[in-house]
Structure 1
């Protein structure tokens, strides 16, 4: 009986020792942590946003594709719709191979009115596809992003906003590649940068 007990203990020790053996497992690249953002990345901003689906959103979620970003408000009757149409024209002229490599982001100045529901209706009204993200955030988030993008704005007593009209092209890590100011620019310059 003692002989079997000794064998049992020895076997158990061998099994436990093999279970405790340390093995290094190499994870696929998709499971490793993201590399650090460059110091001049817009995506360093840590403010929280909500997208048109009502989901919480961080700017660093935009990593991995070139991004054309601008700031608008949905109740704007003149400049903002023209900006959206201009961005849609850029999207339409992208070569087919590039269409999935570029995303478009509209950030609202109007923190009160432009709720995710309003942004979703706006996206539907302008037939914005799946590579468009519309964002609503706090007044502090809007102010910080506007400063980072060098977009000047001011709320008017009428409830609207006075603002400059900039289209900003960011690289895959949120670093500024190109800025274009104005409503009547051709798509050629920004398409050349893409």
Structure 2
């Protein structure tokens, strides 16, 4: 599991960039080949900032940990960043076919099941992470009532950490196109057409700015 056809031109190998993609796209798909067949779930995920190596933490609601048979099998966690249709009309006048630009990260390995205490701490980090931008953040333990409620519902979750043994990441952002074509694609994505995507345009700009700076 976890195969994603790799073109060396589009391989994403920088650990810092992979962590950025995860941070910016935390809603992940968890897939396991269990004794009963394939199982998939969707949960928010955080980079484990306490570790220098690439590692992620999350939780699943019961009984998903039983459905996935967590700890008994390898899992794959899939992150998808900005993506979108790229029309051949945005290329040169020469014959061309449409394509899809995207960024995706696949992390594979056998997860570590967290203790109840660490799971509660990770749940608090998840809440803080998503509440921090709010004008009046609601903390999991912001009041005694909140803390009591959080302790009660946390027993219905199982925390896990994945330090992947395999990482497959791909960033396909028209790296094989000349600069003027890339600029035209970005312009179309920033426009108001049916396939406009400000997020994809921003990701393309980031990738190509890094490429140009490295030359």
- TM-score, with length taken from structure 2: 0.23
TM-score, with length taken from structure 1: 0.24
* Structure number with higher helix proportion: 1
RCO higher in structure (CA 8 A, sep ≥6): 1
